[in-house]
Amino acid sequence: MKKNRFIISSLLAVLLAVGSAHAEEALRPEVGKPLQSAQELIKAQKYKDALAKIRDADAVAGKSAQESFTIERMRFVAANGAGDADAAAKSLEALIASGKLAAADQQKFVQAVAVGYYRAKDYGKAITWTQRYFKEGGNDGQMRTLLVQSYYLNGDYANAAKDLAAEFQAEEKGGGKPAQDRLEMLAGCYVKLNDMGGYVGVLEKLATYYPKKEYWADLLHRIQKKPGFADRLALDVYRLKLVSGNLGGAGDYMEMAQLALQAGYPAEAKKVVDEGYARNLLGVGAEADRHKRLRDLVAKQLADDQKNLAQGETQANAAKEGTGLVNIGYNYVLNGQNDKGLALMEKGIAKGGLKRPEDARLHLGHAYLLAGQKPKAVQTFKSVQGADGTADLARLWVLQSQH
């Protein structure tokens, strides 16, 4: 923590002032002489040698309260210079217990003890002293960070998660943006606590505020692994993979294009194949001929599909239920005929009798998004209630629409 050095430096100044205030209280020679030597060594930045002289002074029997206070004051300065955080923290603790500190300085010293123990990696004591700091009225935001990190590093993931979650709620309520590293720490807490619901919730926030493709890959993987996730939604997962940059090699492009063909959407298959070729993932290597066969098949089915769209629309209008209208409308949107396609999809949903109404709303939301009607897309996605993965995918589309 960058502020730690400032805290320690300010305390050095306070200690020097405190030392001057008590200078009139003489030290016995057997204590004062090694401390005087230590002071010269500190000025020369020979801190380890200074600590040795301070130990000589501390070994003197029958020390007065002022002698002990002066010893600890100098030990803190030397230990801090030597980088001995544990010794520095213990000296501060002794100074606080001495009763010689002004009330106005007490809180600064409590804060520094907490920082000292944190630097010494004694996280249990860092927690104790940081909690005391807040009980005594401290309000430094850096100390909140230190407390959470101490909880985490001490293995107290429940308290770390509790404080982090409260911190993020306050930030979001105030219109702020949670820090990425803090969100990742909270995600780590939930993993340690085996709270996968909490973990996915944080992962969604990471994907919202910091849309790295790795976050999206993890989200999509976990959703597909949820109990009850429907295999028929594989193409919908690929659609999210495509827009989040998570279609990998040639195999992913081939698989998505084939699924689009099987679903009756050759226009979508063509866009996928074209992107695969543009990225030099298709049309190269040992599988180049197979890629070309797929591209030719996509072109043939697209030509046939475009000839038959009008006929399919007529048949869908004649059907008693609206599934055909939803599907043909979706196909029109995928072919770039947004207004016509959306009207047919809305008509199909209103007609009713749908075997899978949540799928229909999921695809209508996607169609609105493709047509550039983001508010309607988000509203539609939020209406999806399916427990088979449709609602999970719809929620991810809402997140994706924010980018």
CA distance 181 to 197: 20
Task: Assign residue 240 a region (left: φ > 0; alpha: ψ between -120 and 50; beta: otherwise).
Answer: alpha
Q: Are 360 and 326 in contact (CB under 8 A)?
A: yes
| Nearest to 236, CA basis, from 361, 362, 322, 324 | 362
- Residue 188: band (very low, low, confident or very high) from pLDDT cuts 50, 70, 90: very high
- Residue 394: band (very low, low, confident or very high) from pLDDT cuts 50, 70, 90: very high
| Nearest to 261, CA basis, from 284, 238, 285 | 238
**Does residue 111 carry a pLDDT above 80?**
yes
pLDDT at 82: 86
Task: Assign residue 359 a region (left: φ > 0; alpha: ψ between -120 and 50; beta: otherwise).
Answer: alpha
Question: Averaged over 385-399, what is the pLDDT?
Answer: 95
pLDDT at 203: 94
Q: How far is CA 340 from CA 245, 307, 322, 349, 361, in A?
A: 29, 16, 15, 15, 17
**Does residue 139 carry a pLDDT above 70?**
yes
∠ CA 339-341-345 to the nearest 5 degrees? 120
Question: Could you read off the pLDDT of 232-258 as tens digits, one per residue?
Answer: 999 999 999 999 999 989 999 999 999
pTM attached to this predicted model: 0.76
**Does residue 181 carry a pLDDT above 90?**
yes
Amino acid identity at 65: A
**Does residue 19 carry a pLDDT above 50?**
no
| Weakest mean pLDDT among 148-152, 339-343, 385-389 | 385-389
Question: Averaged over 161-187, what is the pLDDT?
Answer: 92
- Residue 3: band (very low, low, confident or very high) from pLDDT cuts 50, 70, 90: very low
User: Which helix (H) or strand (E) covers residue 264, if one does?
Assistant: none
- The SS3 of residue 143 is helix
pLDDT at 76: 84
- Taking CB atoms within 8 Å and a gap of at least 24, the contacts of 234-242 are 234/259, 235/259, 235/260, 235/263, 236/362, 236/366, 236/393, 237/393, 239/366, 240/216, 240/393, 240/396, 240/397, 240/400, 241/216, 241/217, 242/272, 242/275
Residue 54 burial (CB count, 10 A): 29
Question: Could you read off the pLDDT of 303-312 as tens digits, one per residue?
Answer: 999 999 999 9
Question: Could you read off the pLDDT of 355-372 as tens digits, one per residue?
Answer: 999 999 999 999 999 999
Percent of the chain with pLDDT over 70: 94
pLDDT at 20: 43
Of 93 and 367, the structure prediction assigns the larger pLDDT to 367
Give the single-character DSSP code of 377: H
pLDDT at 60: 94
pLDDT at 201: 92
pLDDT at 313: 93
Question: Could you read off the pLDDT of 21-64 as tens digits, one per residue?
Answer: 444 457 899 999 999 999 999 899 999 999 999 999 999 999 99
- The two tokens of residue 72 are 């600890």
- Residue 13: band (very low, low, confident or very high) from pLDDT cuts 50, 70, 90: low
Q: Which residue has the tokens 């997962």?
A: 237
**Does residue 15 carry a pLDDT above 80?**
no
Question: Averaged over 115-141, what is the pLDDT?
Answer: 89
- Residue 12: band (very low, low, confident or very high) from pLDDT cuts 50, 70, 90: low
CA distance 108 to 138: 9
| Nearest to 368, CA basis, from 396, 392, 343 | 343
pLDDT at 22: 46
Give the single-character DSSP code of 231: G
pLDDT at 186: 96
pLDDT at 24: 42
Question: Averaged over 178-185, what is the pLDDT?
Answer: 93
Q: Are 248 and 217 in contact (CB under 8 A)?
A: no
Q: How far is CA 343 from CA 54, 317, 366, 380, in A?
A: 86, 12, 14, 14
Mean pLDDT, all residues of the chain = 90
